[in-house]
Amino acid sequence: MTKINLSELTIKKAHDLIHDKEISCRELLSIYQENIKKHEKNVHAYLEVFDDAFEKAEEEDKKIMAGEEPKLLAGIPLAIKNNIMIKGKICSAGSKILENYKATYDATVIKKLRDEGAIFIGRTNMDEFAMGSSTENSAFGPTKNPYDLERVPGGSSGGSAAAVAQQECLAALGSDTGGSIRQPAAFCGIVGLKPTYGAVSRYGLIAMASSLDQIGPLAKTTEDIELLFNAIKGKDSFDSTSIDFDKFRNKKSTAKIIGVPKEFFSLKDGGKEGLDKDIAANIVKTIDFFKDNGYIIKEVSLPYAEYSLPTYYILMPAEVSANLARFDGIRYGFSEKGDNLLEDYMKTRREGFGKEARRRIILGTYVLSEGYYDAYYSQAQKIRDLIKKDFENAFKEVDVLITPATPTLPFKFGEKSGDPLAMYLSDIFTVPANLAGIPAVSVPMGFIDRDNVKLPTGIQFIGPWFGEEILFDLSKKIEYARANIY
């Protein structure tokens, strides 16, 4: 068997090795399984590692030995966030209320990846129902950051990000409602894409906030992200919000003019208040790199961006309140019995949901209630339209936007968990893209020394609707030149 350096292995390289029969699908899977055994007791990226993964790998090997040309993803070990349905596997969404729920069907993205021969190595840990920015809200214990076990990996897709960073899988799927792919990608030093809303089917994703949720890939390289995105994108008859990406693909595939939103980052003054000074310094280096390579850097304004976070934290809990109403302990999942039906509901939901889930359900019910709907929910929808309009205007002037991915470096456990507002601020740079439904990617932006530990950080590119190819192009340029930039 060919000796493999997992840190340098990509999907394309793995495919070539499998194609040339230098390694079998089973052998590749076994390497990752051994790495899981070595690191998982410390990192806790997975809620379950699948026993039948080797059977699937052997099936792919038999096809190849019979002379069948392996598909690009054949034998590629992928980790799947535990709010994406895999038929016959537990899909708990990180919550006690669904701790024993087995999915009865495959999510569309799972079906597409299965058809391409991908191997699902396990289901990853996450903040309960994707509510959180640290994976501290999981009912099954926190995931730790591979770069510093005292720090969070980000959230809510923290398990997926940590699994990729720790070489416990080749790539992973996550979901992003307000930054839940991009923020953990930045904290774990990998690439994470939130696609255009509707570009990837949400069928089989346990809903948090349906108008904001989007499934996307996490991987070590942009090339891998692009390959996975191309495999899962497209119209789906089971999801009425899904769109034929190739039909609406943005005409531009490269950028010439890069916009810097002054509400996020000032070209004159550098980082805004609350942005880590070392992250700000790396952003300046990134902007200078693009200037030196012939790009036009232009400051633009998103005047309603400052209202993104409060708008998000009205609309998202409102949708949470509606989506989580179905979990009542009557048809499936965790159930507690009371003296009557109402008490059944109350006991089940009180003991089945964690603190953050209960907080958002209560907040969402409040903003949807009579007398408050117009004052809060209706107004937030109007602001959302204005935020979207801001982006439309900005993309008339520039091809892409560059911003920080996160305001801070990975923080320590407990540092923000006692202060919900401080935790919510972790999403300040990522939320606007979800509200507008536009694509955004977080790309590693070097390392920063903090407390004698080298911690990863990320930069975010935000593109116009269906402008993923622009993001891939810029991300690859950063990757190729990273050693010379930071």
CB 409 within 8 A of CB 279: yes
By CB atoms closer than 10 A (0-12, 13-18, 19+), residue 425 is middle
| Tally of residues, the chain | 486
Task: List, in order, residues 6 or more apart from 397 with CB less than 8 Å away.
Answer: 257, 259, 298, 300
CB 107 within 8 A of CB 84: yes
Q: d(Cα 385, Cα 286) in Å, to the nearest integer?
A: 31
CB 250 within 8 A of CB 265: no
Name the residues annotated as catalytic: 81, 156, 180
Q: Residue 399: helix, strand or coil by DSSP?
A: coil
Q: Encode 218-235: b = buried (16+ Cβ within 10 Å), e = exposed.
A: bbbbbbbbbbbbebbbbe
Task: List, in order, residues 6 or more apart from 269 with CB less than 8 Å away.
Answer: none
| Total Cβ atoms within 10 A of residue 274 | 9
- Alpha-helical runs (H) found in 277-330: 277-292, 308-323
CB 171 within 8 A of CB 218: yes
